[in-house]
Structure 1
Amino acid sequence: MHLLNRAFSVSAYINAADRPVSPREIAQALSIPLSTLYRLLAVLKDWGYAADCFEAGLLTSGPVFLHNGLYLRYGLLPQAAHNALRKLAAQTRETVAVIASTPVQTVCIDMVESPQRLRCSFAVSEAQSPVLGASAKTLLAFHTPEKCKEIMNQSPLDEAARHNLQQALQDIRRQGYGTSLGEVDDNIWGVSAPVRKKDALLGVVTVMVPEHRAAGQRECFIRPLLDCTASINELIQLA
């Protein structure tokens, strides 16, 4: 319980600040040893309650707290992806989004809508299933094995569905991106690719296309998506 109280205190401190904060500042303010703080921060980042900033060494609110605006203003993933996402939207003329995850849901943190008609349930700050759709499956595929197993264990999957999902995750890891058709929204094809900082998964970028516009044209969306995530990943390594 003592560690739980400390974790809540750290989360509250980060989210009450009107600017990014450093681990040393948090440790001093809350009288927590730095070694303990780093363990708590790892858990808070996993659950979306804290996030690295684009400015190296600082922390801000995580995607769970999109409403306070700090994550979108300072977070490493939304800042690094902002320009590349808009370039991808212009190239594909389809709806594109950046998706992050917690152990119980995926969360859309940024989105550029298509000028063409598209009916989908994704919207900024809206939560979705952690196991259905291209975004969720790609996040699962590139999580650590331990986190992937944790998320799957918390989801209501029967034996057949679990087997099919595990096979899909192997395919995604092999090819470097994931796809789905109609898993979240009827007749919508999606393709997602990961964004990482070294070995840490930050989120995915997803392109969402009506099935009839994707038919026979999927490579026209996959290649620009992979170029987009490659540019974001390169920028993140420099942050």
Structure 2
Amino acid sequence: MTEQKVEAVERALALLECFDGGEESLSLAELARRSGLYKSTILRLAASLERFGYLVRRADGRYRLGPTLWRLGSLYRRSFDLAELIRPELKVLVEATGETASYYVREGDSRVCLYRHNSPKAIRHHLNEGQRLSLEGGAASKVLTTFWTPPEERPWAEQVRRDGYGVSLGERDPEIAAIAVPVFDRGGRLRGSLSISGLITRFDAGQRAIALEAMRGSAARLHEQLTERE
């Protein structure tokens, strides 16, 4: 009986994960294709998810994410209590570099884009706040694994630890380059990682050097502000 309940929960969560591409709504057929579940199963799961506000079924029969997820997401971000500190710094970084700036935190074996300020350029690296990504590949992933407690030893960890930053050149996406630095609090605990990312064809070594200097300034200011709060 316990296994059946767990399986049902995992199927329901898999249904919610279908919206990871950022679409506003999905049809029953699209949910079936992405989840691999039968339509009859999806209808039963969706009914329960609707009842608790995780999904909303529109008049045209398509499904969109419900208000419960927004409420829980807001509570999740509030638990870090960093928005008023991080967002201004992301804005500063975008103004300094013209590229997209993000703040990532680690959650188990994943990293979560907690806050984001997108580049004003028409062609840019776009990612939604709250999106969960693997720790395999990416500048922020390198920082979050190298400076985590206990640190995880990877082929690049020693260099990241020595340099104090991580670089990714087309690792997660062949068209994207990124550079990231750690953010520490007064006790030397890793709170997260600032990252700047852009098209690999324009975010070259010179631009990454400018971004690194700007991020180190932001990380230092955040360290001071976090210290004052403790």
**Which bin holds the TM-score, normalised by the shorter protein?**
0.5 to 0.7
Which among 218, 221, 224 is matched to residue 231 of structure 1? 221
Residue in structure 2 matched with residue 191 of structure 1 by the alignment: 179
1:66 and 1:185 map into 2 onto residues whose CA distance is 31
Are residues 1:202 and 2:207 paired?
Answer: no
Structure-2 residue corresponding to 1:54: none
Provide, for residues 17-71 of structure 1, a one-character-per-residue CA deviation record: whole Å limited to 9, x for no partner. xxxxxxxxxxxxxxxxxxxxxxxxxxxxxxxxxxxxxxxxxxxxxxx99844134
Contact 1:92 1:221 in 2 (8 A): yes
* Aligned 1:51-70 pairs, distance under 5 A: 67-70=72-75
Residue by residue over 1:71-98, the C-alpha shift from the partner in whole angstroms, topping out at 9 and shown as x without a partner, is: 4346233332121111111111110000
- State how far apart, in whole Å, the 2-side matches of 1:119 and 1:228 are: 22
Aligned mates of 1:67, 1:88 — CA distance in 2? 28
* Equivalent in the alignment of 2:130: 125
CA distance in 1, matches of 2:78, 2:114: 11
Matches within 5 A, 1:40-79: 67-73=72-78, 75-79=80-84
Aligned to 1:182: 170
**Larger helix proportion, structure 1 or 2?**
1
Contact 2:183 2:190 in 1 (8 A): yes
* CA 1:216–1:206: 2 relative to 1, 3 Å: closer
Superposed displacement of residue 175, structure 1:
0.9
Count of aligned residue pairs for this structure pair: 159
Of structures 1 and 2, the one scoring higher in RCO (CA 8 A, sep 6+) is 1
- Contact 1:77 1:202 (C-alpha < 8 Å) held by counterparts: no
Aligned counterparts of 2:215 and 2:72: Cα–Cα separation in 1: 27
Q: Which runs of 5+ in 1 are unaligned?
A: 1-63, 150-164
Q: Which moved more, 1:66-75 or 1:187-196?
A: 66-75
Q: TM-score, normalised by structure 1?
A: 0.61
Q: 1:66 to 1:212 in 2, by over 3 A?
A: farther
Counterparts in 2 of 1:62-211, with a 5 A limit? 67-73=72-78, 75-120=80-125, 122-145=127-150, 148-149=151-152, 166-197=154-185, 198-211=187-200
Q: State the 1:113 CA deviation.
A: 0.4
TM-score where L is the length of structure 2: 0.63
Contact 2:182 2:190 in 1 (8 A): yes
* Distance in 2 separating the partners of 1:80 and 1:66: 21
Distance verdict in 2 for CA 1:235–1:138, change over 3 Å: same
Partner of 2:21: none
5+ unaligned residues in a row in structure 2: which ranges? 1-68
Q: Deviations over 1:177-234 (max 9, x none)?
A: 1001111112211000111112211110100021121224221111111111111111
**3-state secondary structure, aligned to 1:87:** helix
Show the counterpart of 2:56.
none
Q: 1:103 to 1:74 in 2, by over 3 A?
A: closer
Instruction: Give me the whole-angstrom Cα distance separating, in 2, the residues matched to 1:184 and 1:101.
Output: 17
User: Once the 2 structures are TM-superposed, how far is the Cα of residue 121 of structure 1 from its aligned partner?
Assistant: 5.9
Question: Kindly, what percent of the aligned residue pairs are identical?
Answer: 26
The separation in 1 between residues aligned to 2:71 and 2:184, in whole angstroms, is 20
Amino acid at match of 1:99: Y
Contact kept? 2:166, 2:181, Cα under 8 Å: yes
